[in-house]
């Protein structure tokens, strides 16, 4: 497929005229000369948003089987791009081909999972309270609830997952599954990859006879075209993964609209790992190695990177620190996604170093490797951590802080004071269960996923996953951005009172044509009638 540098607005390819940018190869530290990617204007935003609004009813009212087939066709078209897609993503992100191959599998798997969610229909949340004409003192009306999509969704892809959290990633897949048209703002860190995937979606939409406007891809600076997109009256929700600063800017824009809209921003998390005393003593070496492997994976560029390790001080913790420092020494420096992300990592490390002192362990030096991150491990104590904003802030990269606490009580105090997180991890033996019981109620309040005896990097895409959490992990702790429940972000309930059966949505029609499990008078039922 030829990459042209054009935007995709409905079924058209449109050359942006409001500036331009070349893609960049971080490993070579050089621009990718051809093509130039043209920036869109406010008129382009308006065209895409108007098309999406026009497509909305036509798309959401299609039979569910056609919506599911569209999602599967997108997955097929992404696979049909072949190795060229992986090679382009590799050139633009510096991520290894093996990792990108896995990420492509995750992306298509996600699309197929949502196709199944759509076919099942249970996301429609059908609830029926039949009429009670004889009820005294007043009869009850017939009341039926089903969910509908919010409307067109703006998606901001993430730099660190150029496939699975980008143009056809989880936000797009879940919004399309909900029945919402999608407009993606291409991430400037992988423009060619974005165009290739965008064209795959455009082709799938054409082949499946989807209404024009079900998908568009815009190019331009976040602060201009991204802000204009979120401010556009036809956009009804936003999905975002990236920095706290960027996410909060979009939340502000969304809240200052005449009609405020939800922004589901996944932003920043340091993912505390609590090493409980018996596990620390019995498995020191293995836990240290597991932690360092998780920390250094993908140059630490994961939102679930273990940025904080907490344990009770003593000889076992000293051994853990020594083992982790030794394991870190074997980790090579790795090219980061963009020069900006590399600079932000160096700056965050410098701030932590100013507070915690020199690292107790480092990975191999970057040498001549462009924009490569050297892994680093710092040690501090609980009181210092609690007084320092820098020590509690995300270092997006392969660096982490080990925190020495004086007692279990102090560990709990630290847990209580931490900001909201995507994950919290307990490394524990059976003899640690009492300590875990003390920590768990605090951790439940702080994060979206609690793990035992694992490491937080690696997020399964499935029905039970929660990739979310209280602020600043996300801007809305009620939802997940990964897994089947991510669809709920783009749906809202409508209650139909005394509507004739022929006019009701299929989900709540008496004959139950979708064969859904519905809540009838408060009890699950798959029966027709009612």
Q: Which residues share a beta bridge with 217?
A: 8, 184
Find the DSSP H helices in 61-207. 64-80, 83-93, 97-120, 170-178, 191-207
- 36: helix, strand or coil: strand
Q: For residues 126-165, which are near ligand NAP according to CB under 6 A?
A: 156, 158-160
The residue from 6, 72, 195, 266 that is catalytic is 266
Shortest separation between residue 158's beta carbon and ligand NAP, angstroms? 5
Q: For residues 160-219, which are near ligand NAP according to CB under 6 A?
A: 160, 185, 187-188
Q: Is 227 in the site for ligand NAP (CB under 6 A)?
A: yes
Q: By C-beta, is 3 or 249 nearer to ligand NAP?
A: 249
Q: Is 242 in the site for ligand NAP (CB under 6 A)?
A: yes
Q: For residues 298-357, which are near ligand NAP according to CB under 6 A?
A: 303, 341, 344
The residue from 72, 227, 303, 410 that is catalytic is 303
Distances 360 to 205, 357, 363, 405 between C-alpha atoms, Å: 53, 9, 11, 17
Q: Is 243 in the site for ligand NAP (CB under 6 A)?
A: yes
Q: By C-beta, is 250 or 279 nearer to ligand NAP?
A: 250
Q: What are phi and psi of 309, to 5 degrees?
A: -120, 130
Sign of torsion over alpha carbons 502, 505, 509, 513 = positive
Using CB positions, name the residue nearest to ligand NAP: 222
Beta strands in 454-525 (DSSP E): 491-497, 518-520, 523-525
Shortest separation between residue 512's beta carbon and ligand NAP, angstroms? 41
Shortest separation between residue 339's beta carbon and ligand NAP, angstroms? 11
Select from 32-40, 171-179, 263-271, 483-491 the region that touches ligand NAP (CB under 6 A): 263-271
Shortest separation between residue 362's beta carbon and ligand NAP, angstroms? 20
Which listed residue (110, 166, 241, 423) binds ligand NAP by CB under 6 A?
241
Contact 64, 119 (CB under 8 A): yes
Contact 168, 114 (CB under 8 A): no
Which listed residue (140, 206, 223, 416) binds ligand NAP by CB under 6 A?
223
Which listed residue (64, 267, 310, 508) binds ligand NAP by CB under 6 A?
267
Select from 29-37, 114-122, 192-200, 266-274 the region that touches ligand NAP (CB under 6 A): 266-274
- Between CA 230 and CA 511 the distance in angstroms is 40
- Between CA 105 and CA 236 the distance in angstroms is 30
- Between CA 248 and CA 242 the distance in angstroms is 10
Nearest Cα residue to 380 out of 371, 388, 368: 388
Q: By C-beta, is 205 or 219 nearer to ligand NAP?
A: 219
Q: Is 400 in the site for ligand NAP (CB under 6 A)?
A: no
CB atoms within 10 A of CB 82: 10
Shortest separation between residue 244's beta carbon and ligand NAP, angstroms? 7
Q: Is 266 a catalytic residue?
A: yes
- Between CA 138 and CA 338 the distance in angstroms is 66
Q: For residues 459-498, which are near ligand NAP according to CB under 6 A?
A: none
Distances 47 to 102, 137, 244 between C-alpha atoms, Å: 35, 54, 29
Shortest separation between residue 496's beta carbon and ligand NAP, angstroms? 38
Q: What is the largest CA-CA distance in the chain?
A: 83
Question: Active-site residues: which are they?
Answer: 266, 303
Which residues contact ligand NAP (rule: CB under 6 A)? Answer: 156, 158-160, 185, 187-188, 221-223, 226-227, 241-243, 246, 249-250, 266-268, 303, 341, 344, 394, 396
């Amino acid at each position: 497929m030829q990459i042209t540098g054009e935007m995709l607005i409905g079924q058209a390819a449109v050359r942006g005229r409001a500036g331009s940018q070349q893609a960049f190869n971080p490993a070579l530290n050089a621009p990718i000369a051809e093509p130039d990617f043209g920036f869109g204007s406010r008129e382009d935003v308006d065209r895409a948003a108007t098309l999406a609004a026009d497509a909305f009813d036509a798309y959401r009212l299609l039979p569910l089987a056609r919506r599911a087939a569209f999602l599967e066709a997108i997955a097929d078209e992404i696979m049909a791009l072949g190795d060229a897609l992986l090679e382009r993503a590799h050139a633009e992100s510096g991520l290894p081909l093996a990792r990108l191959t896995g990420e492509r599998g995750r992306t298509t798997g996600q699309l197929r999972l949502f196709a199944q969610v759509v076919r099942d229909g249970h996301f429609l949340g059908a609830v029926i309270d039949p009429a009670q004409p004889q009820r005294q003192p007043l009869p009850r009306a017939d009341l039926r609830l089903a969910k509908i999509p919010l409307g067109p969704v703006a998606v901001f892809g993430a730099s660190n997952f150029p496939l699975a959290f980008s143009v056809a990633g989880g936000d797009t897949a879940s919004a399309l599954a909900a029945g919402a048209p999608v407009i993606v703002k291409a991430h400037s860190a992988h423009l060619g990859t974005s165009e290739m995937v965008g064209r795959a979606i455009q082709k799938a939409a054409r082949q499946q006879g989807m209404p024009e406007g079900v998908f568009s891809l815009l190019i331009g600076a976040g602060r201009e075209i991204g802000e204009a997109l979120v401010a556009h009256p036809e956009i009804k929700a936003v999905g975002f993964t990236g920095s706290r600063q960027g996410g909060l800017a979009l939340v502000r824009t969304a809240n200052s609209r005449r009609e405020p809209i939800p922004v589901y921003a996944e932003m920043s998390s340091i993912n505390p790992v609590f090493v409980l005393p018996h596990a620390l003593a019995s498995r020191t070496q293995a836990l240290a190695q597991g932690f360092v492997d998780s920390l250094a994976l993908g140059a630490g560029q994961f939102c679930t990177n273990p940025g904080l390790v907490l344990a009770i001080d003593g000889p076992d913790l000293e051994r853990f620190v020594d083992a982790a420092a030794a394991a870190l020494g074997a980790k090579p420096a790795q090219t980061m996604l963009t020069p900006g992300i590399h600079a932000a990592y160096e700056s965050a490390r410098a701030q932590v170093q100013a507070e915690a002192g020199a690292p107790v362990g480092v990975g191999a030096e970057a040498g001549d490797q462009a924009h490569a991150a050297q892994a680093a491990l710092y040690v501090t104590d609980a009181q210092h951590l609690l007084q320092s904003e820098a020590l509690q802030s995300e270092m997006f990269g392969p660096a982490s802080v080990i925190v020495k606490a004086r007692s279990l009580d102090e560990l709990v105090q630290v847990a209580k004071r931490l900001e909201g997180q995507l994950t919290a991890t307990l490394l524990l033996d059976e003899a640690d269960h009492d300590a875990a019981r003390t920590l768990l109620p605090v951790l439940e309040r702080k994060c979206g996923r609690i793990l035992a005896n694992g490491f937080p990097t690696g997020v399964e895409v499935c029905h039970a996953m929660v990739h979310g959490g209280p602020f600043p992990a996300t801007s809305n702790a009620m939802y997940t951005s990964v897994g089947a429940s991510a669809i709920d972000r783009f749906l809202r309930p409508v209650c139909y009172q005394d509507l004739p059966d022929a006019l009701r949505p299929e989900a709540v029609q008496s004959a139950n044509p979708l064969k859904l499990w519905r809540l009838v008078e408060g009890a699950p039922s798959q029966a027709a009638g009612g």
